[in-house]
């Protein structure tokens, strides 16, 4: 992200910080006041001014909270630990096709300034490939569908008189690639609107190496977002542990008495039934927001694993007591 010298003069207002990070101002203030998540500078009038690294940190915290972490437990962790935790959680959720962050990014650029800077800096040669470089929107849109890129970089002033429409066309043509918009000046409302459209925002100008760090940061966030996103309704139940005992068998085991009067089958059947009920509730819970949906997905998966272990114990007891062949 931008160098330290630039940060003090280019700080973000809380509205602009909210626009870039996707967090609302109330949440940012609460995380700062209650948990010490960030410590913004203050201008002469006492208004908060958030640095670029504050925004990076807020984005990492937001991604982890949306995946089920409690803000109170992670607010003071170092940034590197936040990244490691996010990467581990993404891996636990399974591999994500087309969302690999290993290796260098392949860029398509509608940003001559970026292209020139990367070409002029030898240190970036091993860190990035530029597969497509255009200066005008129309040829860029024509070539983009056939470009094997995973990151699209666009300068805002090259989007013409209808920037929102142009961005939508770029997103469609790039088939789900990470779209990064470079801007110099924008209102908080515009930043919020752009962020909600799925575009990632980077304030320009900055050095080539700093730009690549921003790209790496957003690739990490997008990979985690895909890996940790809740499944569509048709895929609910995918990845859940298979049942060993059906509802009828559990009901019968609840009333079981054996020759040695062992009550373990009944106790275990009761535990399995309780965990199963919570598993079903979590899987079917209709959440009002994406973070809630992510949390309930994690609850369902965790309950599924616990239920599977209890069922394995119940099966062992039942075989020992002669209740199963």
* Residue 131 within any structural domain of the chain: yes
Q: Are residues 77 and 144 in the same domain?
A: no
Identify whether the C-beta of residue 178 lies closer than 8 Å to the C-beta of residue 150: yes
CATH number for the domain that contains residue 122: 3.40.50.2300
* Domain edge (last residue) among 51, 70, 92: 92
Q: Are residues 205 and 241 in the same domain?
A: no
Q: Are residues 84 and 179 in the same domain?
A: no
Instruction: For helices 52-66 and 14-21, give the axis angle rounded to 10 degrees.
Output: 50
Identify whether the C-beta of residue 65 lies closer than 8 Å to the C-beta of residue 82: no
Q: For position 289, what pLDDT does the model report?
A: 56
Q: Are residues 117 and 19 in the same domain?
A: no
Instruction: For helices 52-66 and 25-35, give the axis angle rounded to 10 degrees.
Output: 90
Scanning the chain, the segments in alpha helix (DSSP H) are 4-7, 14-21, 25-35, 52-66, 71-74, 79-92, 112-120, 137-143, 163-173, 188-196, 208-228, 247-254, 264-284, 290-320
Closest CA to 250 of 306, 321, 318, 299: 318
Give dist(CA 91, CA 100) in Å, integer: 11
pLDDT tens series, the chain, 325 aa: 443 333 334 689 999 999 999 888 989 999 999 999 999 988 888 888 999 899 999 999 998 888 778 898 899 999 999 988 888 876 654 443 333 445 788 999 999 989 999 988 888 878 888 999 999 999 999 999 999 999 999 999 898 888 888 999 999 998 878 999 999 888 888 888 888 888 899 988 888 888 998 998 888 888 777 666 555 544 455 557 788 888 888 888 887 655 546 788 888 888 998 988 888 887 776 555 555 666 777 788 888 889 889 998 988 888 888 787 7
CATH number for the domain that contains residue 8: 1.10.1660.10
Give dist(CA 88, CA 84) in Å, integer: 6
* Residue 228 within any structural domain of the chain: no
Give dist(CA 204, CA 53) in Å, integer: 15
Q: Are residues 110 and 205 in the same domain?
A: yes
The tokens 């096709």 sit on which residue? 97
Biggest CA-to-CA distance, the chain: 83
Q: Two tokens at 314? A: 């119940």
Lay out the sheet containing 129-133: strands in order across. 129-133, 106-110, 151-155, 178-183, 200-203
Q: For position 5, what pLDDT does the model report?
A: 30
Q: Are residues 107 and 207 in the same domain?
A: yes
Q: Are residues 250 and 307 in the same domain?
A: yes
The tokens 């609850």 sit on which residue? 299
Q: Are residues 258 and 197 in the same domain?
A: no
* Domain edge (last residue) among 214, 242, 270: 214
Give dist(CA 308, CA 251) in Å, integer: 17
* Residue 210 within any structural domain of the chain: yes
Q: Are residues 238 and 173 in the same domain?
A: no
Closest CA to 153 of 181, 119, 193: 181
Domain of 209 in residue numbering reads as 100-214
* Residue 298 within any structural domain of the chain: yes
- 3-state DSSP assignment of residue 240: coil
Q: Are residues 109 and 206 in the same domain?
A: yes
* Domain edge (last residue) among 67, 92, 117: 92
The total of structural domains in the chain comes to 3
The backbone torsions φ and ψ at residue 4, rounded to the nearest 5 degrees and listed phi first, read -65, -35
Q: Two tokens at 137? A: 């929107």
* Residue 220 within any structural domain of the chain: no
Q: For position 219, what pLDDT does the model report?
A: 87
Q: Are residues 109 and 202 in the same domain?
A: yes
* Residue 257 within any structural domain of the chain: yes
Q: For position 169, what pLDDT does the model report?
A: 93
Contacts for 71 with CB less than 8 Å, ≥ 6 apart: 31, 35, 37, 61, 65
* Residue 219 within any structural domain of the chain: no
Q: For position 144, what pLDDT does the model report?
A: 94
* Residue 225 within any structural domain of the chain: no
Q: Are residues 19 and 106 in the same domain?
A: no
- 3-state DSSP assignment of residue 132: strand
């Amino acid at each position: 992200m931008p160098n330290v010298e630039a940060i003090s003069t280019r700080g973000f207002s809380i509205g602009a910080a909210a626009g870039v990070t996707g967090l609302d101002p109330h949440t940012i203030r609460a995380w700062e006041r209650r948990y010490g998540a960030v410590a913004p500078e203050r201008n002469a009038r006492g208004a908060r001014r958030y640095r670029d690294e504050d925004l990076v940190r807020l984005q990492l915290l937001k991604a982890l909270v949306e995946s089920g972490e409690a803000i109170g437990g992670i607010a003071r962790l170092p940034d590197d630990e936040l990244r490691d935790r996010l990467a581990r959680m993404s891996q636990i959720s399974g591999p994500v096709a087309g969302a690999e962050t290993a290796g260098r990014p392949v860029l398509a650029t509608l940003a001559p300034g970026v292209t020139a800077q990367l070409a002029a800096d030898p240190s970036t040669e091993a860190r990035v490939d530029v597969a497509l470089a255009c200066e005008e929107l129309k040829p860029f849109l024509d070539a983009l569908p056939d470009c094997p890129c995973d990151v699209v970089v666009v300068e805002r002033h090259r989007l013409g008189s209808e920037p929102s429409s142009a961005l939508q066309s770029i997103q469609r043509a790039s088939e789900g690639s990470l779209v990064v918009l470079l801007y110099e000046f924008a209102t908080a409302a515009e930043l919020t609107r752009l962020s909600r459209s799925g575009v990632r925002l980077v304030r320009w100008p900055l050095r080539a190496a700093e730009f690549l760090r921003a790209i790496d940061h957003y690739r990490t966030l997008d990979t985690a977002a895909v890996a940790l996103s809740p499944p569509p309704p048709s895929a609910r139940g995918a990845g859940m542990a298979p049942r060993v005992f059906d509802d009828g068998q559990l009901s019968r085991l609840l009333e079981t008495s054996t020759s040695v009067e062992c009550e373990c089958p009944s106790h275990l059947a009761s535990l399995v039934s309780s965990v199963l009920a919570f598993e079903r509730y979590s899987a079917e819970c209709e959440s009002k927001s994406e973070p809630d949906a992510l949390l309930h997905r994690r609850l369902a998966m965790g309950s599924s694993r616990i239920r599977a272990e209890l069922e394995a114990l119940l099966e062992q007891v039942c075989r020992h007591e002669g209740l199963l062949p």
